[in-house]
Amino acid sequence: MSTHGPPDVTQSRTSDRRENIQLCVCKNYVSIQTRLIHEYERQRRYRHSTLSSTEWPQAFPVISELRQLDEAEFLRRTLRQSHSGYELVGAFRGSELIGVLGMRPVHTLARGAYLHVDDLVVAAEARGSGAGHALMEFAEADACAREMSAVFLDARPEAVAFYERRDFVLHPAPSMKKIL
């Protein structure tokens, strides 16, 4: 009986499968590692900070791309909302404010404690840069730090896809209002 015969086909197929599995695992690891590196690089591009009331006027040009208010009314409303915990968070590229997030803690019987995002705006020239994504990550991390169960928001139809890419889902309860 020769010890140097043809390779055992079963062993060869098993070996191929192992190599394929290892290759697959390796590719997934590289893919995950690449995504983490890209995420880290993206996050380094922006500095986030909660804006003080003296910085609110800086946010007006960005906010005015979403909200049709004059600056005085914007400042009045922001001050009024701040008494209930509303905060403006800025995304800065260098010293330039390119995005603004308006958020507030909410506590209800129906939902418990959650964070509500009232405003998310990225300057037109910075859209697609990842600043909106970074601001939403900030909101989610803030909600977790406050031990809140969820983040809620109202989205314009053209922004729904952005939020769905961030794993938000449409809420089944319709919002209703009555103009007085």
Question: Given this model, what pLDDT does residue 15 score?
Answer: 45
User: What are the extents of the domains in the chain?
Assistant: 9-44, 46-165
Q: Are strands 96-108 and 112-122 parallel, antiparallel or unpaired?
A: antiparallel
Q: From 88, 142, 77, select the one nearest 115 (Cα to Cα).
A: 142
Question: Given this model, what pLDDT does residue 176 score?
Answer: 85
What are the residues facing 59 on neighbouring strands? none
Between CA 116 and CA 118 the distance in angstroms is 6
Give the pair of three-digit tokens for residue 156.
Answer: 């314009």
Q: What's the pLDDT tens digit per position in 23-59?
A: 334 344 445 555 554 554 555 577 888 999 999 999 9
What are the residues facing 96 on neighbouring strands? 93
Question: Given this model, what pLDDT does residue 80 score?
Answer: 96
Q: Does 7 score more than 90 pLDDT?
A: no
Q: What is the CATH number that goes with domain 46-165?
A: 3.40.630.30
Q: Does 169 score more than 50 pLDDT?
A: yes
Question: Count of CB atoms within 10 A of residue 59's CB?
Answer: 23
Q: What's the pLDDT tens digit per position in 62-116?
A: 999 999 999 999 999 999 999 999 999 999 998 899 999 999 999 999 889 999 9
Q: In what order do the strands lie in the sheet with 47-50?
A: 47-50, 87-93, 96-108, 112-122, 151-153
Between CA 98 and CA 114 the distance in angstroms is 26
Q: From 90, 86, 161, select the one nearest 131 (Cα to Cα).
A: 90
Phi, psi of 50 (to 5 degrees): -70, 130
